[in-house]
Amino acid sequence: MPPFQLTDKTAVITGAGSGIGAAIARLFADQGAAVAVLDIDETKAAEVASEITEGGGRARAIVCDVTDSTTVTRAIDTVVGEWGRLDILVNNAGIAHIGTVESTTDEDMDRIFDVNVKGVHICTRAAIPKMVEQGGGVVLNLASIASLLGLKDRFAYSMSKGAVLTMTKSVAIDYIDKGIRCNCVCPARIHTPFVDGYLAANYPGAEDEMFAKLSAYQPIGRMGKPEEVAALCLYLCSDEAAFVTGQAYPIDGGVLLV
């Protein structure tokens, strides 16, 4: 069998209605996995799932708010009920925030914590028992280079991604004897619809100038592509990475070199 195949595996990907999550869903389906496209946006989830099925893959769209344990549990149960198992969980859903400790309000902190930290906890807690029961599985978390170094004006966001990194290591050590691997990916700036929306909202008329500035932050001279992050995720969720657990993988265009 060619490397990096996910044939007969079932994957749940949160925040898969756009950006990095959608790229992961498409690639995993191309490699043979049955993919549950979880997103809080029903329309976007359905679009990605339809694209996959129309291309001959297996996918199902499931509306899910990762901050709500009831809906998460229901989503995981739906996946296992339909496909019989849960091999891969990719905790991709997340939100951003710009601000220092002084400008970050209580409401800002609660919102970031609920989605980026509590969401990972809730989804992983729902998935782990299924994996233990079947004898193994893979959890992959989307962290950030913000969990590995200081980023200006990213106080709450960095807090949340630092938590994702340490949750990754905790799950890896707690379940290593259950056949469950857990790693995280730490991207730098990735060109997603979020970036375009952010520039349009905050720099009207100067989008191109700011895009070039944000791109230049990466020494390689550009932002990453969602498909490039998805390729790294595929490796870490495949059997070829069976000896890898508890690790954080930067995909940063050379940021950590500086």
At 253, which helix (H) or strand (E)? none
Angle, alpha carbons 105-106-112 (nearest 5°): 90
Q: How far apart are CA 250 and CA 185, in angstroms?
A: 6
Q: Is residue 3 part of a domain?
A: no
DSSP string over 148-205: TS--TTBHHHHHHHHHHHHHHHHHHHHSGGGTEEEEEEEE--B--HHHHHHHHHHSTT
Is 23 found in the same domain as 118? yes
Is the pTM higher than 0.85? The answer reads yes
Residue 249 designated active-site = no
* Per-residue model confidence (pLDDT) at position 133: 97
Q: Is residue 104 part of a domain?
A: yes
Q: Is residue 155 part of a domain?
A: yes
Is 201 found in the same domain as 122? no
CATH code, 81: 3.40.50.720
Q: Is residue 248 part of a domain?
A: no
* Per-residue model confidence (pLDDT) at position 198: 86
Is 205 found in the same domain as 174? no
Domain that holds residue 33: 10-188+226-243
Is 211 found in the same domain as 164? no
Tell me the β-bridge partners of 7: none
Q: How far apart are CA 42 and CA 51, in angstroms?
A: 14
Q: How far apart are CA 224 and CA 88, in angstroms?
A: 24
Q: How far apart are CA 44 and CA 245, in angstroms?
A: 32
Each of the 258 residues of the chain gets a pLDDT tens digit; together they read 789 999 999 999 999 999 999 999 999 999 999 999 999 999 999 999 999 999 999 999 999 999 999 999 999 999 999 999 999 999 999 999 999 999 999 999 999 999 999 999 999 999 999 999 999 999 999 999 999 999 999 999 999 999 999 999 999 999 999 999 999 999 999 999 889 988 998 899 999 999 999 999 999 999 999 999 999 999 999 999 999 999 999 999 999 998
Is 203 found in the same domain as 176? no
Is 214 found in the same domain as 183? no
Is 204 found in the same domain as 80? no
* Per-residue model confidence (pLDDT) at position 258: 81
Q: Is residue 257 part of a domain?
A: no
Is 115 found in the same domain as 54? yes
Is 201 found in the same domain as 80? no
Is 69 found in the same domain as 89? yes
How many independent structural domains does the chain possess?
A: 2
Catalytic, out of 157, 175, 198, 203: 157
* Per-residue model confidence (pLDDT) at position 194: 87
Is 119 found in the same domain as 161? yes
